[in-house]
Amino acid sequence: MNRSAKSSDGTLDQMAKTSAMMRSVCMGKHKADEALIDGLGRGEFPDTKEIKCYANCVLEMMQAMKKGKIMADSAIKQIDLLIPTEIAEPTIKAFDGCRDSGKCWSSKGWINMN
């Protein structure tokens, strides 16, 4: 993948501001508990409606999901544009894996992409 050179500091700052905005909007919209949202960053995915709706909201704002369907190409395009290379690659691999396997975990559970 041909990724353009970016200023990591500037991009990380922009990413932090965008993340905070999405978090605020989606947290308020779905009344998700802040402690549970913090756990998402540690890989903790509780099976609650509020967290699933919060995750769906964030993914839709990122243009990574539309109407419950993972949009791998759109997600990868956004990642490539906005996230520094050093932290983007694992995320791109995850979305590529979804596309390649035809099956991904979404906020609504396992979904088929075919």
Same domain? For 53 and 72 the reply is: no
Nearest-angstrom CA–CA distance, 99 and 87 = 20
Instruction: Tell me, yes or no, whether 51 and 88 share the same domain.
Output: no
Task: Provide the pLDDT for residue 26.
Answer: 94
Task: Give the CATH number, domain containing residue 31.
Answer: 1.10.238.20
Residue, of 105 and 82, whose pLDDT is higher: 82
- Encoding tokens for residue 42? 């540690």
pLDDT tens-digit readout, 3-55: 444 444 557 788 888 889 999 999 999 999 999 998 887 878 888 889 888 98
Residue 106 in this model has a pLDDT that exceeds 60: no
Model-level pTM greater than 0.85? no
Is residue 97 a part of any domain in this protein? yes
Q: Which residues sit opposite 103 in a β-bridge?
A: 112
The whole-number average pLDDT for the span 72-77 is 87
Q: Domain range holding 29?
A: 15-62
Q: Is residue 8 part of a domain?
A: no
Q: Which range has the worst mean pLDDT, 35-39, 79-83, 94-98, 105-109? A: 105-109
**Per-residue DSSP letter, 5:** P
Is residue 84 located within the same domain as residue 57?
no
Q: 104 in helix, strand or coil?
A: strand
More confident residue, 100 or 18: 18
| Number of domains present in the structure of the chain | 2
Using alpha carbons, list the distances in angstroms from residue 67 to 59, 71, 106. Answer: 10, 10, 11
Domain contains 1: no
Mean pLDDT for the chain overall: 77
